[in-house]
DNA sequence: TACAACATACCGACTAGTTGGTATGTATTT
DNA sequence: AAATACATACCAACTAGTCGGTATGTTGTA
């Protein structure tokens, strides 16, 4: 692939960026190819030059979402905490701070898409799954270290499981926000999540089980 | 309204029942009126005789969902527990027992619809909100009674807030199931929810605050 | 009881517009 | 020259919704 002038955003990038906001607001099915082209300021020819189909764009958009958000979290300040539990709680606080403004601005592209696509579009669903579970996996090491430091093994839960739970609560928070609760309803869920993690690490690990 | 033979399901009821399963599997936007008519075994004429529009059907379907599921929970056995906390945990166990089989069989119609409809279809979003928050409200009395019996006031959370949190975790659980986790991922979330509620009621309420 | 007047429930062809996708063109860069 | 990166024009299938019509009531009245 020959390098374009590298400063001007090409049609492909403009379409992907447009997809993030348009699909988050309208959903995958209700977003037409023309909608995406209009939002990106490109023509249909450009669309089908870069993507085999609307479904193919959705898959790439999900990966694009993973990279974009992945970069945001990777460079966030909570990683600098020395206590691994503080890093986990710092992640939760950071997620909380992101919830503001219009609902479509803080909700999750892949959570929205997988609801519509899981049955009819397996490729999209798989891309969304990679994004959600891949992001959860970035939390595992800190949770596992916090568990080890406090001797938490044997409580009936795992680092991977708790990491997945954080994502479930976040996705549920977005649904409640969309159902009329707004940002407040979403923040409330994150506060419960933080309280849960705090309680988990305060509680004594399971008595009858070896650590 | 004159009573029809009362045993034969009419087109309206058949369409509403079809909507519950078809929209849960395909989503609202991807479900066409023809899809619904075919699933219900009725014609398009019957559809628009009973519903002004596809959007109007979705609103009635959301209310129909509330009634159907409402009846299921109202008649469940966990209400017979004498300890209010046991009733709350019994509700969680009951939700856990419902998660089995295909994803489209245990997921939530209104959670699916509101994701697509919250922006473009306010009437549908409002109906979904009534369903979710209305169902949450049915848990409030038991939670409040459990809080009172154990002197839990002042911990920074309320009965209504915890009730909403149960619904957020459930909705998030469905998304993770759709993202490839299957029933196991959903059950895992409910186990975390139960552990959270248990820990909450074991913890001592906030020290510096009056009860 | 008989008949007119009206209402409800439903049918299926039809339409105007939209959909994802294609075919073919042109300008720019290497 | 040749590939890339777009643009324009177009199409067949599908979309929600309409409309004229029918079959089967129900209701009022003489």
For residue B46, tell me if it sits in a domain. no
Q: Is the CB of B179 inside 8 Å of chain A's CB atoms?
A: yes
Q: Chain B residues with CB inside 8 Å of A162's CB?
A: 192
For residue A1, tell me if it sits in a domain. no
As given in the structure block, the two tokens for residue B150 are 């154990």
pLDDT of the residue at B58: 97
As given in the structure block, the two tokens for residue B140 are 């409030």
Q: Which H, E and C letters describe chain A, residue by residue? A: CCCCCCCCCCHHHHHHHHHHHHHHHHCCCCCCHHHHHHHHCCCHHHHHHHCCCHHHHHHHHHHHHHHHHHHHHHCCHHHHCCCHHHHHHHHHHHHHHCCCCCHHHHCCHHHHHHHHHCCCCHHHHHHHHHHHHHHHHHHHHHHHHHHHHHCCCCCCCCHHHHHHHHHHHHHHHHHHHHHHHHHHHHHHHHHHHHHHHHHHHHCCCCCCCCC
Q: Say whether B147 sits in a helix, a strand or coil.
A: helix
* Chain mean pLDDT for chain B: 92
Region A20-26: mean pLDDT is: 97
Number of domains in chain A: 1
As given in the structure block, the two tokens for residue B49 are 């005789």
Q: Is there a contact between A168 and B161 if contact means CB atoms under 8 Å apart? A: no
pLDDT of the residue at A183: 98
Helix axes B159-176, B122-150, angle to 10 degrees: 120
Q: Nearest CA to CA, how far is B77 from chain A (Å)?
A: 27
pLDDT digits (tens, 9 = 90+) for B18-64: 999 999 999 999 999 999 999 999 999 999 999 999 999 999 999 99
- Give the lowest-confidence range in A43-47, A135-139, B138-142, B185-189: A43-47
Report residue B70: phi and psi, to 5°.
-55, -45
pLDDT of the residue at B154: 85
For residue B15, tell me if it sits in a domain. no
Q: Is there a contact between B172 and A172 if contact means CB atoms under 8 Å apart? A: yes
Our measurement of CA B2 to C1' C3, in angstroms, reads: 22
Contacts 24+ apart (CB under 8 A), B201-210: B201/B85, B201/B146, B201/B150, B201/B152, B202/A203, B203/A199, B203/A202, B203/B155, B205/B151, B205/B152, B205/B153, B205/B154, B205/B155, B206/B154, B206/B155, B206/B156, B209/B154, B210/B154
Residue from A73, A105, A98 nearest A88 by CA? A73
For residue B8, tell me if it sits in a domain. no
User: What's the CATH code of the domain at A154?
Assistant: 1.10.357.10
Asked if B7 CB < 7 A from strand D, the reply is: no
| Structural domain containing residue B82 | 54-202
* Chain mean pLDDT for chain A: 92
Q: Nearest CA to CA, how far is B112 from chain A (Å)?
A: 6
Asked if B2 CB < 7 A from strand D, the reply is: yes
A179: nearest CB among B133, B169, B179: B133
Cα–Cα separations (whole angstroms), residue B205 to B16, B18, B101, B199 = 46, 48, 40, 11
pLDDT digits (tens, 9 = 90+) for A86-131: 999 999 999 999 999 999 999 999 999 999 999 999 999 999 999 9
Nearest residue: Cα versus C1' of C24: A45
pLDDT of the residue at B120: 96
Give Cα A9 to chain centroid, integer Å: 25
Q: Chain A residues with CB inside 8 Å of B92's CB?
A: none
Q: Is there a contact between A132 and B203 if contact means CB atoms under 8 Å apart? A: no
The size of the A-B interface in CB pairs under 8 A is 176
For residue B183, tell me if it sits in a domain. yes
**Pick among B32, B55, B165 to test the A interface (most A CBs inside 10 A):** B165
Q: Is the CB of B163 inside 8 Å of chain A's CB atoms?
A: no
| Tens of pLDDT, residue by residue, chain B (211 residues) | 333 443 466 889 999 999 999 999 999 999 999 999 999 999 999 999 999 999 999 999 999 999 999 999 999 999 999 999 999 999 999 999 999 999 999 999 999 999 999 999 999 999 999 999 999 999 999 999 999 999 998 889 999 999 999 999 999 999 999 999 999 999 999 999 999 999 999 976 543 333 3
pLDDT of the residue at A204: 64
Region A139-150: mean pLDDT is: 97
pLDDT of the residue at B207: 38
Q: Nearest CA to CA, how far is A166 from chain B (Å)?
A: 9
Q: Is the CB of B12 inside 8 Å of chain A's CB atoms?
A: no
Q: Is the CB of B120 inside 8 Å of chain A's CB atoms?
A: yes
Q: Chain B residues with CB inside 8 Å of A106's CB?
A: none
Contact in structure between A178 and A159 (CB atoms under 8 Å): no
Which nucleotides along chain C are within 7 A of a protein C-beta?
A: 8-14, 18-25, 29-30
pLDDT of the residue at A2: 35
Interface ipTM above 0.90? yes
For residue B42, tell me if it sits in a domain. no
pLDDT of the residue at B205: 55
Cα–Cα separations (whole angstroms), residue A136 to A27, A108, A162, B45, B159 = 23, 14, 9, 48, 29
Q: Chain B residues with CB inside 8 Å of A132's CB?
A: 175-176, 179
For residue A56, tell me if it sits in a domain. no
pLDDT of the residue at B8: 62
Q: Nearest CA to CA, how far is A206 from chain B (Å)?
A: 12
pLDDT at A63 over 60: yes
Q: Say whether B206 sits in a helix, a strand or coil.
A: coil
- In A, residues 43-102, which contact B (CB 8 Å cutoff)? none
Our measurement of CA B26 to C1' D5, in angstroms, reads: 36
Q: Report the share of chain A in percent with pLDDT over 90.
A: 89
For residue A119, tell me if it sits in a domain. yes
pLDDT of the residue at A153: 83
Q: Nearest CA to CA, how far is A171 from chain B (Å)?
A: 5
As given in the structure block, the two tokens for residue A210 are 């070896």
Q: Chain B residues with CB inside 8 Å of A181's CB?
A: 129, 133, 164
Which DSSP state fits B29?
A: T
pLDDT of the residue at A210: 36
């Amino acid at each position: 692939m020959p390098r374009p002038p590298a400063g001007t955003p090409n049609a492909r990038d403009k379409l992907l960026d447009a997809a993030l906001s348009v699909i988050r607001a309208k959903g995958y099915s209700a977003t037409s190819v023309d909608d995406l082209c209009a939002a990106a300021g490109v023509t249909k020819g450009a669309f089908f030059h870069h993507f085999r189909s609307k479904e193919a764009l959705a898959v790439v958009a999900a990966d694009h979402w993973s990279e974009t958000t992945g970069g945001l979290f990777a460079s966030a300040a909570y990683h600098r905490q020395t206590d691994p539990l503080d890093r986990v709680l710092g992640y939760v606080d950071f997620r909380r701070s992101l919830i503001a403004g219009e609902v479509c601005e803080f909700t999750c592209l892949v959570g929205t898409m997988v609801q519509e696509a899981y049955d009819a579009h397996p490729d999209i669903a798989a891309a969304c799954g990679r994004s959600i579970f891949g992001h959860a996996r970035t939390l595992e090491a800190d949770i596992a270290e916090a568990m080890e430091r406090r001797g938490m093994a044997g409580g009936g839960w795992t680092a991977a499981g708790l990491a997945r739970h954080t994502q479930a609560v976040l996705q549920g928070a977005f649904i409640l926000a969309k159902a009329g609760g707004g940002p407040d309803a979403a923040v409330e869920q994150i506060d419960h999540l933080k309280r849960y993690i705090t309680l988990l690490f305060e509680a004594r690990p399971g008595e009858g089980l070896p650590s």
